[in-house]
Every structure is written in C-alpha cells, then in structure tokens.
Amino acid sequence: MRNLILIVDYYRIFFSAVFFALGATLGSFLNVVIYRLPKGESIVYPPSHCPHCGHKLVASDLIPIFSYIYLKGRCRYCNEKISIIYPLIEAITGITTALLFLKFGFSLDLLKYIIFACILIVIAMIDLNTGYVYDAIVIPSIFVGLAFSFFTIGFREAIFGAIFYGVLFVLIILISKLFYKEGGMGEGDLTAGIMIGAFLGLKLSIVSFILSFIFGSLVGILIMLFEKKDGKTQIPFVPYLALGAIVSVFLGGKLVSFYLQLF
C-alpha cells in the first residue's frame, strides 16, 4: 500500500510539473495577446520581437521564466530592461494550470478551466493596463463556456449563471448612473460577468461575485488610504472579477458547503 501511495504521489508531482511547464508556455502566448491586442496588432505576425529594438527573438530568448532569469531581465540585443510582468504572467499561468490539474486530474473540467483561466488573465491584464474590455475576447468566450456546460455543469446552470451576472450588473450600472455622471461600472464589466457566469454556473457565480466585491473593496480602501484618492476614482473591476472567479473554481464548493452548515 505504501508503495502504491508513493507511485501516486510521484505521478501527481510529475504531471504537476508538466502542467506547470505547459501553463508557463501558455502564459508566454498570453503575454503576446495582452501586449498586441490593445495596439491593434496581429497576435501571429510578426514573430516575437523585442518591444524596444524590434530584434526578432530566437528560441533561447523565449523559454518561459528561465530566459528572463538567464538574461537578468534585459534584452540580449539592446540591453533594455524587460518588464517583470512577462515572467509573472508566465508563472501565474503555470501555477494556476498545475493547481487545476491537481484539483481536476485528466478531465474535461481541466481543459475547461485552463481555457477559462487564460481568458481571465488576458482580460484582467488588459483592463488593468488600458481600462478596456474587448468584446472580441469576451463575447466568443461566453459561447465557449456555454458549449462546455453541456458536458460539465449543465446548460441550464450555465444560463442561470450568465443571467445572474447580467441582471446584477445591469442593475448596478443603472443605479450607479444615478449617483455618477460617468457611471460606476462599464459595459465591459457586464459582458465579462456574463462570460464568467456561463463558465461557472449560478452557485459558483454567486460566490465569485461576493469574493470579487470583497477583493475590490479591500484594494479600493487601501488605495484611498495610501494614495489619498477619493471614492470617485475609477478602479478597473475586471481584475477582481477574475480573481473572484478563479478562487471560486478552487474553493467555491467548500465555501458554499461551509455557509450551508451555518444554518
């Protein structure tokens, strides 16, 4: 029995490392999307190049995380600094992908949530950088989430999740416009929420929204305290939606069970 447990542990460790490497590689591609899409550039052509000198990068420059460390955070050709964001995105995607494997194993849920995590990382970073949420990413992703639901959570659950976020955010947008001329939430937040609901379903969507509200409120309070900004300062909300969604994937079921046990 002990030998069997060791074999299982080695199996999980080995494939966790494999999925970390896979995720880091995906993160490298996500960096391209995050950087190029707001600029209106193709994510396929031209090939990867230094954003400072434009020199085409070779394979040894593109090894996720390790190339950044080996090159000490500088371009091999012009010696300009490379943003720390690139390896961070690769590491976050790698860690998330490995954790998803540990939770779901080899399953359709694993594929679904890897795709979901990648979408969340892209829209969160673009919103953080530019304040925009691109329908070209979010709207097709809604249909991807609905398509997966037929084989995972159920189409009805996914529809209810999408409706939950849609109705909730429409109400928030309408109410916020009564107090702020520019409104407190944008249409990008609405479509991102619908997409999250389509992937998560109703139960996890409720957990996800509560978590995102808590995360957003805490960060907003800290920003007002340390940067002395007023309550009218607009803060991108999609990053908190993304964080709430991914945490709910891992812990949402346990949080729901814990809440139900209180009554």
Higher pLDDT, 109 or 75: 109
Q: What is the pTM of this model?
A: 0.90
* Position 114 pLDDT exceeds 90: yes
Percent of the chain beyond pLDDT 90?
A: 50
C-alpha to C-alpha distance for 174 and 192, rounded to whole angstroms? 17
* Average pLDDT taken over every residue of the chain: 86
Q: Provide the pLDDT for residue 232.
A: 56
The pLDDT tens digits of the residues spanning 228-242 come to: 655 555 678 899 999
Q: Provide the pLDDT for residue 154.
A: 92
The pLDDT tens digits of the residues spanning 53-64 come to: 777 877 877 888
